[in-house]
Structure 1
């Protein structure tokens, strides 16, 4: 071996020759924005961008690991990225599963925001803009929606945040996204306590659902019927019933256990749904009391009365 080759062999590898690990260079937080077409992905992406996230729209799932790698090479200038992915990619399910496995192998934190919506609302939205569904092909809009829902079933089941946009306008959806992903908010799990009426259907975005129809219904008390669970008379009536106090005590304890587990697992947003028949009296009063107790314990809580005013 000549001297030149010996020197080259003995020389330490240059920094540029080192294998690149984006996590050692600059950890990147990645949010995956997906869900049903027409459910509000663009609004969610715009909101994240306003919060300072770098957003990439319509990214093929197979490019997710490459995107994270490139972000890691920016020396911390792109610490938070959001990628909008959807079923326009032909190999969506397989590619997304493989990409998420690759990212998990790298230790890359990924959160998934899934936007859902009822079929009838989606049909109306597509009809109002006079555009076909991306999977509609030669069939009806509803055919495309059902095909997409089947493709996204597993993704929805694994999502960190599921938002039902059926009854939300763009401003309300933006508020939900801000609550879930605003990094300036206090640490810990951010909870939404939602009252609802079973006769209007279960909330599709609830993490926990509890039923308070075992309590007497103020609807059958003439003086209370026109009031709601936010009125002191109804609240006192509901909370004074046998079993109401014990129910709230024990469910508050359960929520403490669950939210602590969510924090350990990195889940930052949870929706607790409390139901009664119409979503006007019992569920509203119980939800208000649960929210009050959670706030007193230091939790970041938003309260939503989904069906209040529908009767």
Structure 2
């Protein structure tokens, strides 16, 4: 079964080793999406794990000497002090701390599948103990929306079995002895600023803009019609070829430096056509060359209402 996966920035364990650095993975998502499974897998591959930890206790973990192995924390809306705004502020504070290497992992799942899972287990939803699971799921997804947008790695578990999810977690977090560096590609709009955690950025705004074609305006860069339109721009193919050549040149060098993950951003004015098309085509080319690739289209997610749903299908080599 194909994994639905999007990634936005470097995995905490994938950064170059820094003595004394606190490597921290925060795992969250709606109830029933697989958080407990993910936490158990991280524990199995060597992480120190704590599930369902109150937010108020996390700063205490950052005090003192960094542990000798990475830490993974499971965050659950059932905690009495859970607050999306407080969590984002906490994450931003960690990002500014040179001694902490944080990563937010969001396990996503479509509402119908969450409802199905609750109907099978016959459990009460923690946010709707006296109502239907559907009502609790809707509340939880609304509560988690700001965190989903802020996530560094988003894994859609809608079509994943527990076994599939375990494989995805291991693929991203288990030490890679094969020497294959994972690449994450993200499209974005310059209007909303640069995405967090990218290692390099390419500006696509010089390409002819499909937005001004009425037949293409409502489409996005994943659509063949948009890609065909862009292919008519004489700058399109040379740009794509040169960027691909540069990235393929850099990847082995990055592996040689000990990196396990490279995050690349492609930006345009609206983040809907040009940057999306380049990210899609670049992802296909790199996957065909044998590199593990994931893609995220930041503005398309926001345009969809910033609500959880099936993520982009990703080519994984």
The equivalent of 1:300 in structure 2 is 292
2:81 to 91, 99, 123: 91
**1:69 Cα shift?**
2.4
Q: Does residue 97 of structure 2 align to residue 106 of structure 1?
A: yes
CA separation of 1:254/1:43 partners in 2, compared to 1, >3 Å: closer, same or farther? farther
Q: How many correspondences in the alignment? A: 224
Give distance in 2, aligned partners of 1:137 and 1:91: 18
1:164 aligned partner: 156
Q: Provide structure 1 residue ranges, at least 5 long, that are not aligned to the other structure.
A: 1-23, 193-206, 216-241, 273-283
Asked which structure has the greater CA Rg, the reply is 1
Q: Does the residue aligned with 2:62 lie in a helix, a strand or coil? A: helix
Output the TM-score relative to the length of structure 2. 0.57
Instruction: Name 2:214's counterpart in structure 1.
Output: none
Q: CA deviation at 1:189?
A: 3.7
Q: Where does 1:17-56 land on structure 2 (aligned, <5 Å)?
A: 26-56=20-50
**Aligned pairs (5 A) from 1:225-244:** none
Contact 1:33 1:114 in 2 (8 A): yes
More helix by share: 1
Q: Is the 8 A contact 2:244 2:282 kept in 1?
A: no
- Mapped to 1, the partners of 2:240 and 2:60 lie a distance apart of 44
Q: CA deviation at 1:136?
A: 1.2
Contact 1:65 1:103 in 2 (8 A): no
**Higher-RCO chain (CA-CA 8 Å, sequence separation at least 6):** 2
How many Å separate the matches in 1 of 2:132 and 2:246?
Answer: 46
Q: 1:43 & 1:247 partners in 2: Cα distance?
A: 43
Matched with 1:134 is 126
Q: Gaps (5+ residues) in structure 2? A: 1-17, 186-197, 199-219, 266-279, 296-311
Counterpart contact for 1:39–1:122, Cα < 8 Å: yes
Q: Which runs of 4+ in 1 moved over 6 A?
A: 246-249, 255-260, 269-272, 284-287
Q: CA RMSD in A?
A: 4.4
